[in-house]
């Protein structure tokens, strides 16, 4: 049996613990997903960490007094980041075009190391860059799978900021601060009507990232990229 002294000591310890708990701040009530610590994937100098497959290429060139930029040339080809796969995150891409018909895209959730330019099309998702197409194929849309609510691109020749948020299975896209796409792959997809459109079906929770070069040699259209970066989504404790 416990002595009277032991009982008193136990009560004192309990009271002290309660007082300390009352002094602690309440648990955080921040949103479930928060973006922080942006990490550049394009270093602003060269193609370290990247690999190209398919026709055409990406050219690294200086742009006036700014750091180097990537310029699409020819295609259709794919430049993909070899360093790692990415799950939940926000991808930030700063780009500009030379024409409303300039054609490129940002690929996410590519299931494996792409062997050719078509692998990412059918085994990943493409967030389109091309202002001259319809709502399922224009800038900000998840190509042929989820339409963009609006075309929020800036005038040709001006820089655009696209943020692609991968949050669980969903893909949310904002363009210049305007939310344009919220793609839920659990919802029915439009029928595939063209052989160059992506095959329907699930993509992995984590995959590689890539950017497309799809220029028109005849008209000299290009897309320039000056930033490609990634920030993780941090889930807060509940």
Give the model confidence (pLDDT) of 27-51 as tens digits.
333 233 343 578 999 999 999 999 9
Residue 158: its pLDDT value, please?
A: 97
Residue 134: its pLDDT value, please?
A: 96
Give the model confidence (pLDDT) of 96-116 as tens digits.
999 999 999 999 999 999 999
More confidently predicted of 200 and 23: 200
Q: Is residue 166 very low, low, confident or very high in pLDDT (cuts 50, 70, 90)?
A: very high
Residue 25 placed within a domain: no
Residue 64: its pLDDT value, please?
A: 57
Residue 23: its pLDDT value, please?
A: 39
- Give φ, ψ of 223 to 5 degrees: -125, 135
Residue 66: its pLDDT value, please?
A: 63
Domain membership of residue 186 as a residue range:
34-235
Residue 77 placed within a domain: yes
Nearest partner of 230 among 104, 116, 91, 121, judged by Cα: 91
CATH of residue 210: 2.60.120.560
Give CA torsion, residues 191, 192, 198, 201, to 10 deg: 50
Q: Is residue 26 very low, low, confident or very high in pLDDT (cuts 50, 70, 90)?
A: very low
Residue 14 placed within a domain: no
What's the chain's Rg over C-alpha atoms? 24
Domain total in the chain: 1
What 3-state DSSP class applies to 10?
A: helix
What's the mean per-residue pLDDT of the chain?
85
Of 17-31, 43-57, 214-228, which gets the smallest average pLDDT? 17-31
Element (H, E) at 181: strand 178-183
Residue 2 placed within a domain: no
Residue 111 placed within a domain: yes
Give the model confidence (pLDDT) of 183-217 as tens digits.
999 999 999 999 999 999 999 999 999 999 998 76
């Amino acid at each position: 049996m416990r002595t009277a002294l032991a009982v008193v000591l136990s009560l004192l310890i309990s009271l002290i613990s309660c007082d300390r708990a009352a002094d602690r701040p309440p648990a955080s009530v921040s949103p479930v997903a928060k973006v922080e610590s942006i990490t550049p994937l394009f270093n602003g100098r060269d193609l370290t960490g990247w690999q190209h497959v398919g026709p055409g290429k990406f050219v690294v060139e200086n742009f006036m007094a700014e750091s180097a930029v990537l310029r699409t040339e020819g295609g259709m080809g794919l430049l993909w980041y070899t360093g790692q796969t990415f799950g939940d995150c926000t991808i930030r891409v700063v780009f500009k075009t030379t024409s409303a018909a300039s054609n490129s895209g940002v690929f996410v959730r590519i299931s494996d190391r792409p062997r050719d330019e078509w692998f990412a099309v059918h085994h990943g998702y493409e967030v389109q860059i091309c202002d001259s197409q319809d709502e399922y194929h224009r800038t900000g849309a998840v190509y042929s799978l989820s339409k963009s609510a609006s075309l929020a691109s800036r005038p040709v020749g001006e820089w655009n900021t696209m943020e692609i948020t991968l949050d669980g299975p969903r893909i949310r896209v904002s363009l210049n601060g305007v939310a344009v796409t919220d793609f839920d792959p659990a919802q029915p997809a439009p029928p595939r009507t063209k052989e160059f459109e992506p095959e329907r079906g699930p993509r992995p929770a984590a995959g590689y990232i890539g950017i497309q070069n799809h220029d028109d040699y005849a008209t000299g259209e290009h897309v320039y990229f000056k930033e490609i970066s990634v920030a993780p989504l941090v889930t807060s404790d509940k």
